Chains A and B, each alone.
Chain A
Amino acid sequence: MIKLEGLCRDFQVGDQVVHALDHLDLVIRQREYVSIMGPSGSGKSTLLNILGLLDSPSAGNYWLDDISTASMQDDELASVRQKKIGFVFQSFHLVPRMNAVENIELPMVLAGLLPADRRDKVAAALERVGLTNRADHRPDQLSGGERQRVAIARAIVMQPMILLADEPTGNLDRQSGEEIVDLMENLNNQGLTLIVVTHDPAIGNRAQRKVRIEDGRIKIDIQ
């Protein structure tokens, strides 16, 4: 489903070029559970941003569902992100003035769904993350773990194929971090492709497939 071929991402910093990704090849199949680990600055986030179509490679190819993403324009990229990809971030990124329901329905609002069509889906997503009784709480009225659940509910409400998580437990204590990982694994069991970037070996080792990146290249890839 995901196929990367000779992927490079260079950043120009002053007169120096940083090779954040350096001829990286990777294939990820549907329903896989992949963890990506590596030292700081090795290019994990850069890889995830390219997978999520927020960034584009300097060289190489990225096929998503056998379609090359190289030629896609802003509108098309946005629409692919909307339909196929869900993001979970380390710092949640909920809109502070909106309550849980409003945050979760944002992707559907952008997609132009009518309120009547949104209601059931929001309810289902809340149910899946176990927050039905927090529906009208604003982010500042939720705990860190609960905020991340809202973020996950928002990521899955459009029923994407891939969930990309960049250090999803980085801002959480161990207890709620594990709950979040449990929740995502649960979604993976139901068919969602899960790609998690983490520094925590305990979390990274839970994945069926463990990828280690160093200096923008894949060092170890254990199935």
Chain B
Amino acid sequence: MRFFDCNRIAFGAVIRYPLRTGMMLLATSIGVGAVLMLTALGESARGYVGQAFQTLGTNIVIVMPGRTETAGTAPGAMVGTTERDLTLDDARALLRSPAIRYIAPVIVGSATVSQGNLERETTILGSTTDFATIRQWTMAQGEFLPNVDLDRASPVCVIGNVIRTELFGDEPPIGKWLRIGTRRCRVTGVLADQGTSIMIDVNEVVIVPVGYTQMLFDVSGLFRIIAQATDRESMDRARLDIIRIIKTRHYGEEDITVITQDAVLQTFDGIFDTLTRALAGIAAISLIVAGVLIMNVMLVAVSQRTREVGLLKALGATHRQIVALFLTEAAFLAVLGGITGLGFSYLVIIGVRGLYPEYIFMPPAWAAVGAFTVALVCGIFFGIWPARKAAAIDPIMALAGRQA
């Protein structure tokens, strides 16, 4: 039997029973669709987090006071050590590393801000002019913080867009006084909307010089030091330099935690990758269910066509030819189901992308290839038993119509 004849006969059987074929296609396409949709969701979550991390700026190293314990440290090692604050001098010292281009010390707090008789509670962020450079922030009006010495507590501030509309309405805010807690400072600029951003809501923040926050909240220790490495390659160097510099300044105590943007991103990437694969695996189970359905349907087909099989045997069909015919039929069902599934999934994906263009909603190529392959393999695998059953049919019984 020629290959194309085998396909022709099997395909003839596939289109002969449209209801059966339609249900098979539905089952397989749901399986393929589930794999594509879930992996697309996983990928889109990964993309979202990745994008959010980009808004932190590039080549960022974050320094936090206190040591995050990692496994393996002897319990006694930390006994008696007092955690030292990160100070402005520490921050300044970091600039000695050639691997670091900018630093921005950060203190965060919350306070009531008011103007005239309007007031609200909001996040106060103390930093320096380089903070905007690192995070690539742009201004809607005016200027960011002045480039002055770190501990100068100049009474100036930069406000987010929402703060501006809530407290100043339509009035131009630049040069006006804003009351923060019991103190006052002059508005020098309004931040532009920066889109998605993590850690701070740009629209609802008031930014003041870091020295001003020390005074405002009566603290000296920093919340974070954000450092920007000169380039990607020097990030590790920057990390090591930071640890070395601070350690020296803290009398040999390594009481800080340094995280690099890359490391965080990689961790998240790894998590989302695992998540996506797990989702794909779960969805693939529905493909196996579809395979079992193919088996069921093929078993019915075999018993429906007992006479036909008997006839083919009388006409000189071998065991192998009968197996080939029924396996081809099962494969056709699986392939058609796979193609329909891919087709519908991509239609849905295109639709979703049209509705939400800001999200990256696209299944990875391996998911499409994998789903299709699993569908095909399942279809063929679960077609083996029915095909063998067909080949084992006794032609005499079948032709006499005496099947039990």
Q: List 5 A-B contacts (CB under 8 A).
A: A52-B314, A75-B319, A82-B316, A89-B399, A111-B1
A81 nearest in chain B by CB position:
B316
Say yes or no: is A27 at the interface (Cβ < 8 Å to chain B). Answer: no
Q: Is the CB of A78 within 8 A of B316?
A: yes
- Which of B12, B316, B395, B396 lies in contact with A98, CB distance below 8 A? B12
Q: Is the CB of B400 within 8 A of A78?
A: no
Known: A97-B12, A109-B9. Is A79-B311 also a contact (CB below 8 A)? no
Q: Is the CB of B318 within 8 A of A93?
A: no
- Looking at the assembled complex, report how far the CB atom of B3 sits from the nearest CB atom of chain A, in whole angstroms: 10
Which residues of B are in contact with A by a Cβ distance under 8 Å?
1-2, 5, 9, 12-13, 16, 307-308, 310-321, 395-396, 399-401
Residues of B close to A97: CB separation below 8 A: 12-13, 16
Most B CB atoms within 10 A — which of A52, A74, A109, A114? A109
Q: How far is the CA of A107 from the CA of B307 in the complex (A)?
A: 16
Q: Is the CB of B399 within 8 A of A93?
A: yes
Q: Is the CB of A45 within 8 A of B400?
A: yes
B310 nearest in chain A by CB position:
A93
Number of interface residues of A (CB under 8 A): 28
Which residues of A are in contact with B by a Cβ distance under 8 Å?
45, 49, 52, 54-55, 74-75, 78-79, 81-83, 87, 89, 91, 93, 95, 97-98, 106-107, 109-112, 114, 154, 158
Residues of B close to A81: CB separation below 8 A: 313-316
Residues of A close to B399: CB separation below 8 A: 54, 89, 93
Residues of A close to B321: CB separation below 8 A: 78, 110
Known: A45-B400, A89-B399, A98-B12. Is A107-B311 also a contact (CB below 8 A)? no
Q: How far is the CA of A74 from the CA of B312 in the complex (A)?
A: 13
Q: Is the CB of A112 within 8 A of B395?
A: no
Q: Is the CB of A55 within 8 A of B396?
A: yes
Q: Is the CB of A154 within 8 A of B315?
A: yes
B391 nearest in chain A by CB position:
A74
Q: Is the CB of B314 within 8 A of A111?
A: no
A98 nearest in chain B by CB position:
B12
Residues of B close to A158: CB separation below 8 A: 316
Q: How far is the CA of A111 from the CA of B252 in the complex (A)?
A: 88
Residues of A close to B395: CB separation below 8 A: 54
Q: Is the CB of B314 within 8 A of A109?
A: no
Residues of B close to A111: CB separation below 8 A: 1, 316
Most B CB atoms within 10 A — which of A55, A75, A97? A97
- Looking at the assembled complex, report how far the CB atom of A119 sits from the nearest CB atom of chain B, in whole angstroms: 14
- Looking at the assembled complex, report how far the CB atom of A111 sits from the nearest CB atom of chain B, in whole angstroms: 7
Residues of A close to B308: CB separation below 8 A: 95
Q: Is the CB of A54 within 8 A of B316?
A: no
Q: Is the CB of A79 within 8 A of B316?
A: yes
Q: 8 closest A-B pairs (Cβ-Cβ)? A: A82-B316, A78-B318, A97-B16, A81-B316, A107-B315, A93-B311, A109-B5, A87-B314
Q: How far is the CA of A138 from the CA of B175 in the complex (A)?
A: 93
Q: How far is the CA of A55 from the CA of B398 in the complex (A)?
A: 13
Q: Is the CB of A110 within 8 A of B317?
A: yes
